[in-house]
Amino acid sequence: MNIIVCVKQVPGTNEVKMNKETNTIIREGIESIINPFDTYAIEEALKIKDKFGGKVTALSMGIPKTADLLKEAMALGVDEAFLLSDRAFAGADSLATAYTLSTGIKKIKNYHLIICGKQATDGDTAQVGPSLAEKLDIPHITYVTKIDVLDKKLIRCIRLTSDGYETIEVSLPALITVAEDINVPRLPSIKSLKEARKSEVTLWSVNDVNADKSLTGLNGSPTQVVKTFIPEYNIDSQIIEGTPEEQSESLVDSLLSLGFSVDE
């Protein structure tokens, strides 16, 4: 069973800076981590590998420094890792990101299942996984909380919905996005971390994957951020003094002054 896990680098802090010209996150010079939701995808891929054998491949798109995070994934048991890194990929929205990842997956070729985290903590769109499946013309299941049946021909999953749960079965190859309820991610050992530092992460440019530059990065992004700002919260609070009766009368007067209707 050959599995590809899509891994994203996200800021490890809430104090991010934005490029005022492109309205994109400035990732250089800030601490980065593996997208927390992707750690569940990695764990699920490794569990399947432990049960069925095969190979787990990690794929990411990002700046060259992202290779260090892919080595962390290899310390957990991922067999090989590829990084799509090129200035032509910069500033991509979810659609351009899905296209770029699809070119990398087509170059890898041999896979049965693709696993993604349900969303990324820096964008929260939850669009890349489904868009990637559409680019590859394969079925997909989102918000998976349990894999019920899996073999080389099909996968049956239980997925979370707003109304409860659904059981869906699709043929392979397929893509799933996993929710955090699916497992508890393992931690790497000190030995595996040291060994992973010596591992090689293969870097692919836009030319290596024969990507159409008009469909990557800002050029291939039909949606663009036109303005970013930090919301301001101004909370005006008031402590009402007096007896309970005086407090209730004062509260009613305050509500009436604000235009609220207070029943007798």
The per-residue pLDDT for range 51-97, each reduced to its tens digit, is 999 999 999 999 999 999 999 999 999 999 999 999 999 989 999 99
CATH number of the domain where residue 195 is located = 3.40.50.620
Interatomic CA distance for residues 37 and 99, integer angstroms: 21
Is the alpha carbon torsion for 137, 6, 176, 117 positive or negative? negative
Interatomic CA distance for residues 37 and 144, integer angstroms: 12
Tell me, what's the pLDDT at 25?
61
pLDDT grade for 14, boundaries at 50, 70 and 90: low
**57, β-bridge pairs:** 4, 80
Q: Is residue 81 included in any domain, yes or no? A: yes
CA angle 118, 122, 127 (to 5 degrees): 40
Residue carrying structure tokens 């769109």 = 125
Q: Is residue 38 included in any domain, yes or no? A: yes
Interatomic CA distance for residues 202 and 59, integer angstroms: 10
Tell me, what's the pLDDT at 249?
86
Residue carrying structure tokens 């870097």 = 203
Tell me, what's the pLDDT at 239?
86
Q: Max CA-CA distance within the chain?
A: 77
Helix-helix angle 128-136:94-108, to 10 degrees:
50
The predicted model scores a pTM of: 0.81
Q: Is residue 228 included in any domain, yes or no? A: no
Q: Is residue 223 included in any domain, yes or no? A: no
Q: Is residue 227 included in any domain, yes or no? A: no
Q: Is residue 122 included in any domain, yes or no? A: yes
Q: Is residue 226 included in any domain, yes or no? A: no
- Mean per-residue pLDDT over the chain, rounded: 89
pLDDT at 254 over 90: no
pLDDT at 149 over 90: no
pLDDT digits (tens, 9 = 90+) for 204-237: 999 999 999 999 998 999 987 777 666 777 777 7
Q: Is residue 148 included in any domain, yes or no? A: yes
Count structural domains, the chain: 1
Closest CA to 119 of 180, 65, 191: 180
Residue carrying structure tokens 């929260």 = 124
Domain containing residue 165: 2-215
Q: Which two tokens stand for residue 223?
A: 């949606």
